Structure 1
Amino acid sequence: MSDTTRRAVLAGAAGVTAATVLAACGDDASDTGSTGNAGNGATGGAAAGGPLASKADIPVGGGKIFTDGGGVVVTQPTSGQFKAFSSICTHQQCVVSEVTDGTIHCKCHGSTFSAADGSVTNGPATKGLPEKQLKIDGDTIALA
């Protein structure tokens, strides 16, 4: 193999590697279909209408992540106020990992979201978590 051919092969391989790395760290608009590890606080859940949790299961200033039934994170930003958002990070579609101190965290790339309204509090995500509707019946929390 000549030097020119070897250089062309190596340059091509380097280009493919760089393209692969860049694709893995794309922007919010990309849809790779991959998901990350649910991590701390993630549990099973239920489809729309089925019970997810009781009010006592959701800590004030925190929340709980449910990976079944489409993926939802239920938060209690202030006492007695319950919110629900998609548990899929808008940056690279990883499952968010935990809810602490009023913030929803995604450990894949460090994005954080407000537990009160799902808005981005730290990127790389640029879009907030979509809100989901809850149905609260007595002490039971379910997706509407």
Structure 2
Amino acid sequence: MHPAHPTSVTRRMFVAGTCGAACTAALSACSTYPVGPAAPASSPAPDAPAQGGPAQGGASLVAASDVPVGGGTVFAEQDVVVTQPTAGEFRAFSATCTHQGCPVTEVADGTINCNCHGSKFAVEDGKVVDGPADSPLPERAIEVDGEEIRLA
């Protein structure tokens, strides 16, 4: 038996009853994160280069003079961030935050920053400066050949 007048309606019930899948799809489109199942850990993303492929080794990233001292540059396509902690010293780290896998988006004020949840990593060694991440960014191998910096 159903009561004549329901006493409370949850937000979920309201959304499901008033617009169903259309609202859910519209709200999902506003999300920063992809919707749907993640790719299996054992298979690379469809457009990702194979391990050891051209983008993994030897790919030219940037001119050394274009990496600011005390800062760095994020290369999202290559999943790498290159920093120059002191003049002439270059380091590289994964551009994927160790908290929940968001891409880091900028290097500012001596830290590599993830805007998803606010984690910050040191440009010198990739260690966590401010969480919620609790693991450092993995280091990536680079080569500096004169003015050119490339993945090793």
TM-score, length of structure 2 as denominator length: 0.65
Instruction: Encode CA deviations 1:97-142: one digit per residue, 9 max, x unaligned.
Output: 1101211011100000000000000000011100001111111000
Gaps of 5+ in 2: 14-36, 40-54
Q: Equivalences for 1:18-97 in 2 at 5 Å?
A: 33=38, 46-69=55-78, 71-97=79-105
Moved beyond 3 Å, runs of 4+: none
Higher relative contact order (CA 8 A, sep 6+): 1
Write out per-residue CA displacement over residues 37-91 of structure 1, whole angstroms, 9 at most, x where no aligned residue.
Answer: xxxxxxxxx442111001011000110000123x000000111100000000011
Amino acid at match of 1:138: G
8 Å contact 1:65–1:72 — kept in the other structure? yes
The structure that has the greater radius of gyration is 2
**3-state SS of paired residue (2:107):** strand
1:102 aligns with 2:102: no
* Contact 1:33–1:93 (Cα < 8 Å) also in 2: no
Percent identical: 50
Unaligned runs of 5+ in 1: 14-31, 35-45
RMSD: 2.8
Which one of 135, 141, 146 corresponds to residue 138 of structure 1? 146
